[in-house]
């Protein structure tokens, strides 16, 4: 079997479990690809070649270990790893070796995964651009903050990678890089051992090339192995388009992407796919999410702000100071607003709708000089804690990918995966159907 690095995670796992390919050969193919492209894409902060090869050889000799048996994985450099440096994208933590793996990383290893290396993140997973480029066009951003993970999967360096989202750091880079990104329900995956930004918002997830890939990743990261098998969609769901109150930020290609998505959705839906507005309780969610995030970040990084102020970027320092200016009274009001909004959205999903389709980003990936892109179309879904998945459906004016996100009710992760696969199979472009 040639070009092993081009296999999706699911394809690779099937071949590995049947002993049709060796974990060692797959790993070497990924390392060869990294050797060819890393100087351009710059997706990695560190590689654990020797440990990964040793692990692959062990797995090739022994019994099939778990749902990720022999699969090379990229881990965002926000997740602790005991055998690889974890810098959180900051010079403060250069050469920092945690004593233990993050819970999600330990679970992936237990499931047979091979941690190939750490993928680049922005400074403390915030908005300061890192060195990573977009594999589709190196002059454009891969997004943030899970930049390295999205780019590594997109460029066939690794079939699966981890990510985290506090505003839009899984869905947006997945859209920019043309891969599938899955942010499960808030709390689905333990955040223990992952550098915290905003505890009310931080959510872990995965990047892959197919819906089954990211389901496999989140199944392993969470320990909920039921997710590893994406069930067929057995009924026609109620689907609607939600342009959100931020639609004025959408570029032409995002409008085109939603038109394509509407057509595909109508193939699998119970009826016509119309537009829907969120309940009035959600009117100020974007602003509330921004304030909650800044307020919590300002406290989460008290140690770094006090002891290492000169090692923080001006951009990150500005965010910390903005957070400090938000009163605790305002922060509490925003949390109450979020609680009311979650209750109203729960009613919406119970009474009116099963799946929402919304923009993943304002448009295609912007030039590197313009930063990591605007997360505005992700903020409210992150605050609501809903499961979201990005699927590539169109292209922008520069030929770069443009995705949409499918969103389900709280805790409906398995249903979302089933609906997403049915949706992908209904897309008009046969190449895009490969995401299923």
Q: Is 162 domain-assigned?
A: yes
By 3-state DSSP, what share of the chain in percent is helix, strand and coil, each rounded to 5? Answer: 45, 15, 40
pLDDT at 315: 96
> And the tokens for 236?
């026609």
Q: Measuring CA to CA, which residue among 129, 147, 171, 151 is closest to residue 369? A: 129
Question: Residue 386 — pLDDT band, cuts 50, 70, 90?
Answer: very high
pLDDT at 1: 59
Q: Rounded mean pLDDT of 235-243?
A: 97
Indicate the average pLDDT of the chain.
97
Pairwise CA distance, residues 222 & 357, whole Å: 25
CA distances from 237 to 224, 270, 349 (A): 24, 5, 11
Q: Is 52 domain-assigned?
A: yes
Question: Residue 2 — pLDDT band, cuts 50, 70, 90?
Answer: low
pLDDT tens digit sequence for 22-52:
999 999 999 999 999 999 999 999 999 999 9
Q: Is 378 domain-assigned?
A: no
The residues annotated with a catalytic role in the active site are 76, 145, 169
Pairwise CA distance, residues 179 & 110, whole Å: 26
Residues 6+ apart with CB under 8 A from 351: none
pLDDT tens digit sequence for 390-426:
999 999 999 999 999 999 999 999 999 999 999 999 9
pLDDT at 30: 98
pLDDT tens digit sequence for 334-382:
999 999 999 999 999 999 999 999 999 999 999 999 999 999 999 999 9
Q: Is 134 domain-assigned?
A: yes
Q: Is 248 domain-assigned?
A: no
Question: Residue 175 — pLDDT band, cuts 50, 70, 90?
Answer: very high
Question: Residue 256 — pLDDT band, cuts 50, 70, 90?
Answer: very high
Total tally of structural domains belonging to the chain: 1
Q: Is 310 domain-assigned?
A: no
> And the tokens for 229?
């098998």
Q: What is the CATH number of the domain that holds 81?
A: 3.90.1300.10
pLDDT at 270: 87
Percent of the chain with pLDDT strictly greater than 70: 100
pLDDT tens digit sequence for 112-141:
999 999 999 999 999 889 999 999 999 999
Helix or strand run (H / E) with residue 296? helix 285-300
pLDDT at 127: 87
Domain that holds residue 101: 4-228
CA torsion sign for 79, 146, 389, 291 is positive
Strand order in 114-119's β-sheet? 44-47, 114-119, 72-76, 160-165, 203-208, 180-183, 388-395, 401-408, 355-359, 239-241
Q: Is 278 domain-assigned?
A: no
> And the tokens for 390?
């990005």
Question: Residue 271 — pLDDT band, cuts 50, 70, 90?
Answer: confident
Q: Rounded mean pLDDT of 277-306?
A: 98
Helix or strand run (H / E) with residue 90? none
Q: Is 14 domain-assigned?
A: yes
Q: Measuring CA to CA, which residue among 102, 84, 83, 85 is closest to residue 93? A: 85
């Amino acid at each position: 079997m040639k070009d092993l690095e081009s296999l999706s995670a699911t394809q690779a796992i099937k071949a590995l479990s049947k002993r049709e390919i060796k974990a060692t050969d797959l790993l070497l193919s990924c390392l060869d690809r990294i050797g060819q492209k890393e100087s351009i894409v710059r997706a990695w902060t560190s590689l654990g070649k020797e440990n990964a090869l040793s692990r692959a050889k062990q797995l090739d000799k022994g019994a099939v270990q778990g749902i990720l048996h022999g699969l090379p994985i990229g881990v965002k450099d926000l997740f602790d790893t005991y055998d690889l440096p974890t810098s959180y994208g900051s010079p403060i933590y250069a050469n920092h070796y945690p004593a233990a793996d993050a819970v999600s990383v330990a679970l992936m290893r237990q499931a047979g995964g091979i941690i190939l290396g750490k993928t680049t993140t922005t400074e403390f997973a915030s908005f300061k651009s890192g060195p990573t480029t977009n594999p589709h066009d190196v002059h454009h951003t891969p997004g943030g903050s899970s930049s390295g993970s999205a780019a590594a999967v997109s460029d066939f360096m690794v079939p699966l990678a981890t990510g985290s989202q506090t505003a839009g750091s899984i869905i947006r880079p997945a859209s920019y890089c043309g891969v599938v990104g899955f942010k499960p329900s808030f709390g689905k995956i333990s955040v223990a051992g992952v550098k915290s930004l905003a505890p009310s918002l931080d959510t872990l997830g995965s990047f892959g090339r197919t819906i089954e890939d990211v389901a496999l990743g989140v199944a392993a990261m969470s320990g909920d192995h039921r997710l590893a098998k994406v069930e067929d969609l057995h009924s026609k769901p109620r689907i609607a388009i939600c342009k959100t109150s931020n639609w004025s930020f959408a570029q032409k290609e995002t409008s085109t992407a939603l038109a394509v998505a509407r057509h595909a959705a109508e193939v699998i839906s119970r009826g016509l796919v119309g537009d829907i507005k969120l309940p009035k309780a959600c009117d100020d969610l974007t602003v509330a999410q921004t304030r909650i995030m800044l307020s919590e970040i300002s406290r989460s990084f008290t140690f770094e702000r006090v002891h290492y102020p000169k090692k923080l970027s001006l951009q990150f320092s500005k965010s910390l100071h903005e957070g400090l200016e938000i009163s605790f009274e305002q922060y509490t009001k925003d949390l109450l607003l979020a609680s009311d909004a979650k209750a109203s959205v729960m009613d919406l999903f119970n009474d009116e709708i099963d799946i929402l389709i919304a923009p993943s980003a304002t448009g295609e990936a912007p030039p590197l000089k313009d930063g990591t892109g605007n997360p505005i179309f992700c903020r409210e879904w992150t605050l609501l804690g809903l499961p979201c998945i990005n699927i590539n459906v169109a292209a922008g004016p520069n030929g770069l990918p443009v995705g949409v996100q499918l969103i389900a009710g709280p805790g409906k992760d398995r249903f979302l995966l089933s609906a997403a696969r049915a949706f992908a199979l209904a897309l008009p472009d046969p190449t895009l159907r490969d995401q299923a």
